[in-house]
Amino acid sequence: MESYVPSLRSYLMNRLLTSLYLLWLVSTVVGYFATINYANQPYDMVLLQRAQAVADQLKLGSGHEKLEQVLELPDGSDPVMPDRIVYTVSDSEGRKLAGTASLSTPLSYRRSKIGAVFSNGERGGEKTRTVSLVYPDPAGVRVLQLHVSETTHQRQALIRGILANIVIPQLLLILLAVAAVWYGLKKGLLPLERFRSEVAARARGDLSRLDEARAPVEVRPLIDAVNDLLERLKQVMSAQQRFVADAAHQLRTPLAGLKTQVELALRESDPVRQQRILEYVLTSAKRSSHLIKQLLMLARNEPGGQGVEAFLPLDLEQIARECTMHWVPFALEKDIDLGFEEAHTSTDILGDADSLGEMLGNLIDNAIRYTPRGGQVTVSVKHDGSHVCLHVQDDGPGIPLEHHALVFERFYRVLGSGQSGSGLGLAIVAEVAKRHDAELRLESGNGEAGCRFVVRFPLAEKQLELSGPRS
C-alpha cells in the first residue's frame, strides 16, 4: 500500500496554520494570566481599603476594640455591587471573636509575612478573594486578626471583558492571516504550476530545455536538474537512434546477400557447387556476427550507454599483455612480429576491462590487417607523469595526414587500402577513449612509415582526486 504524500500546498498550509494556532494559543494563555494579574490589582486595593475601614470601625489594635458591634457590608443583592463581603475577627490561634462568617485561621499560616496577605478561596460554591491583616494589642497581651472576603463576580466580569477584547481581534487576525497565507501560496506556487503545464503540454519526444528565465531563484535548481536529465535522455535517445540506423544500414546488404545465397543453394543440385555456396554463406554469417558485435560495443560505449559507474581499478599493462598474446596467432598467420613492451611501473587506471580489451583488440587487428607480411607491430605501455600511455605502432603503409581526423568516424574507410572491414573499429576506439576520459592521438610512425595510435589515460590516483571515491 502506497503511503500518502501530501501536496506542497497542503504541507505548507498545515505547517503555517499549526504555527499560527500555537502562537494564538500561547498568546491567549499569557493574556489570560496577565489579565487576572491586572484585574486583581485594583480590586485588591479596594478590598484592602474596605478591610482597613472595618478595622477602624471596630477600633482594632487600639486596646478598646468594639468586637460586639456587627457591621453591615454589601451582601451582593445590589446590581451595582454584586459581590458579597464578609469579615471575621480572630485571635492568634484562629478562634473567632467576631464577624459575619467563619474565616479564622491560625496566625502561623502567614509564615512570618508582614502586612496584608491576599489569598483565593471558595465559599458556598463561589470563588472568593480574601485579605488578612494583623493588629497587635498596644499592651502586647494579644494579637487580633482581621479577615475580609468578597466574591469575585466583578473581577470575573472584568477578566472576561478584557479577554474578549484580546481573543476576538486575535481570531480575526488569524483568519486574515490564513487568507493571506493561502493567497500567497497560490501565487508563490504558480511557477511550479506553469512548469507542470509546460511539461505536460510538450509533444512526445520533445526534449528541449525548459525556460528558467521566468522562474524564481528557488525553483531554478529544480529546472536546471530537469534540464540536465533531459539532456542525458536526449543523448540516450540519440545513441539508440544512431544504433538502429547504423544496424539497419550495415545489416541490410549482408542479410540480403545471405538470403540470395541461401535461395541459390536451395536451387542448386550439384553438391560441390552447393558446398561452395554454403561456405560463402558461413563466411558472410561470421562477418555479420562480427558487425553486430561491433555495433553493440559501439552502443555500449556511447554517451548515455553504460556510463562510468561500473569502473574498477585495473592494471592497464596486464590487460595489454593478455590482449597482445591473444592476437599472436593471427599475427603469425601473416608472418608479422607482434611484440609487447612493459612499463615496469604502476599502470593502474579506473576503467571497464571488457571495453578496454575491445579497444586494444581493434587497434591490434587494424595494425595486423594493414601491415604487410614480414612487418612488425609493437604494443607498449608507458608511464607519463600523472598518466599512462598505451601505444600501438606498426610499420605498414600508414594513413595520409588528411585522413587522420576522419578515420575515427563511423563507417569511414580510406579508399585504396585493399582491406575489407566495416569501418567501425576505430570509431569504437574513439568512444572507449572518450568514456574513460582518455586522450586519443594518431601519429605517423618512425621515418614517416606506418602509424602509431596513442591513448593517454589518467592514473587511478588522479581520477580519485578529481572525482572522489566511487561507491
Question: For 140-150, what is each residue's pLDDT tens digit?
Answer: 778 888 999 99
Residue after which a domain boundary falls, among 161, 186, 201: 161
Strand 312-315 relative to strand 96-99, pairing: unpaired
Q: Is residue 405 part of a domain?
A: yes
Q: What is the pLDDT of residue 379?
A: 93
Could you tell me if 254 and 368 lie in one domain?
A: no
- Say if 211 falls within a structural domain: no
| pLDDT value at residue 416 | 46
Do 443 and 414 belong together in one domain? yes
Domain that holds residue 369: 312-467
Asked if the structure places residue 236 within a domain, the reply is yes
Query: Are residues 447 and 325 located together in one domain of the fold?
Result: yes
pTM over 0.85: no
The domain boundary, picked from 280, 301, 322, lies at: 301
C-alpha cell at position 282: 558461413
331 backbone dihedrals φ, ψ, rounded to 5°: -70, -40
If asked whether residues 156 and 98 sit together in one domain, one would say yes
Number of domains in the chain: 3
Residues 294 and 353 grouped into a single domain: no
- Is the same domain home to 140 and 16? yes
On average, the pLDDT of the chain sits at 80
Question: What are the grid coordinates assigned to 194, written together?
Answer: 506553469
User: Are 293 and 320 part of one and the same domain?
Assistant: no
24 lies in the same domain as 153: yes
Q: Which cell is 343 given?
A: 612499463
**pLDDT given at position 418:** 47
Record the cell numbers describing residue 366, joined without a space. 587494424
Which SS3 state, helix, strand or coil, does residue 272 take? helix
Write the CATH number for 405: 3.30.565.10
**Same domain? 328 vs 442:** yes
Same domain, 291 and 351: no
Nearest to 249 by CA among 303, 190, 292, 185: 292
pLDDT of residue 311: 80
- Whether the predicted pLDDT of 127 surpasses 80: yes
d(CA 212, CA 191): 10
Judgement on whether residues 333 and 450 belong to the same structural domain of the protein: yes
Residue 193 lies in a domain: no
33 and 122: one domain? yes
